[in-house]
Amino acid sequence: MKNGKLKKVILSVITFTLLTGGFMTYKNFNKPNVVTSIQANYLMPDTLNDLIANSNYVVIGEVLNKGNTFKVNMANYVVDSNNKPADRAALYVKHTVSNISITQSLKGDLKKGNIIEVMQEEFDNIKHDKSLSKKVYSKGDKYIFFLNKFTPKSELEIKDYKTVKYLPINPYQGEIQITGDKIDIIKEEFPMFKNGDAVQDVVTQIQESLK
């Protein structure tokens, strides 16, 4: 390649690099403060005793309707902070609320026939452990639920959540699906059970653990 041509190539590369770099920098500076990914740290019990101990309610129930969804900005619940709110990016949790009819209560003061609102949580852009599943309830699904009660107290909570809700212990272990008379699980999520265990056997184990 002649010197003149080589100069042209080099000049083209340099010009293009500078232009692209400049454009990327300009684009980045004009980006809104936005969350690009989320890592959530949950309590993940690996024994039946811990699973039950950390759930105030253990019930069997049937999903009456496919839930409706709404979003809440968790950044609104920050307290005691003197940093500028503008420095925090909005952090939305998407909730799905389903009505569940209780068919058997194993722990807690809920009774057969009670209808409760179970609220699932999901973050946009969350990085899930690949071995774990994330389910959304469908009408007619039957589950053994491991729940905690959430009562809105502050003005903001009442505005966001309105009424009492029940939250699964975490997005992975909050419920065990029942298919026929057997449980349907991913082994990695419930090491204390085997996929295909009889529901009655699981119930007996839970009752034994509660004694």
Partner 1 sequence: MKKKKFLTLGLAALAVSSFIITNTFAKTMADGMPSASFSVNDNVSDYYFKSRIYQGTYHWNVTPTPAAIGRSSTSTNTINKLAGGATSSYGLYAAKYINGSRGFDIYINYQAIDSLVSGRSLTDRDKAYESVIVHELGHALSLADLGFLDTRSSIMSEYIKRYNLWTPQQYDINDVNAFY
Binders of partner 1 among residues 84 to 123 (CB under 8 A) are 87-89, 91, 93, 95, 119, 121, 123
Nearer to partner 1, 60 or 167 (CB): 167
Q: Which of 40, 136, 198, 210 binds partner 1 (CB under 8 A)?
A: 40
CB 71, min distance to partner 1, A:
12
- Write out the DSSP string of 140-195: T-EEEEEEEEE---SHHHHHHH-S-EEEESSTTTSEEEEETTEEE--TTT-TTS-T
In three-state secondary structure terms, 80 is: coil
Closest CA to 129 of 179, 173, 167: 173
The footprint of partner 1 on residues 6-25 (CB under 8 A) is 8-9, 12-13, 16-17, 20-21, 24-25
Nearer to partner 1, 64 or 74 (CB): 74
Q: Identify the DSSP state of 209.
A: H
- Left, alpha or beta for 134 (phi > 0: left; psi -120 to 50: alpha)? beta
Q: Which of 143, 161, 192, 193 binds partner 1 (CB under 8 A)?
A: 161
Q: Which residues contact 126 (CB under 8 A, 6 or more apart)?
A: 37, 38, 39, 40
User: Up-side HSE of residue 23: CA atoms within 13 Å toward CB?
Assistant: 6
Q: Which of 67, 165, 206, 209 binds partner 1 (CB under 8 A)?
A: 165
Alpha-carbon distance of 201 to 181, in angstroms, equals 10
Query: Taking CB under 8 A as the rule, does residue 169 contact partner 1?
Result: yes
The footprint of partner 1 on residues 59-78 (CB under 8 A) is 72, 74-78
Binding mask 140-159 for partner 1 (x = CB under 8 A): --------x-x--xx-xx--
Q: Which of 7, 71, 111, 127 binds partner 1 (CB under 8 A)?
A: 127
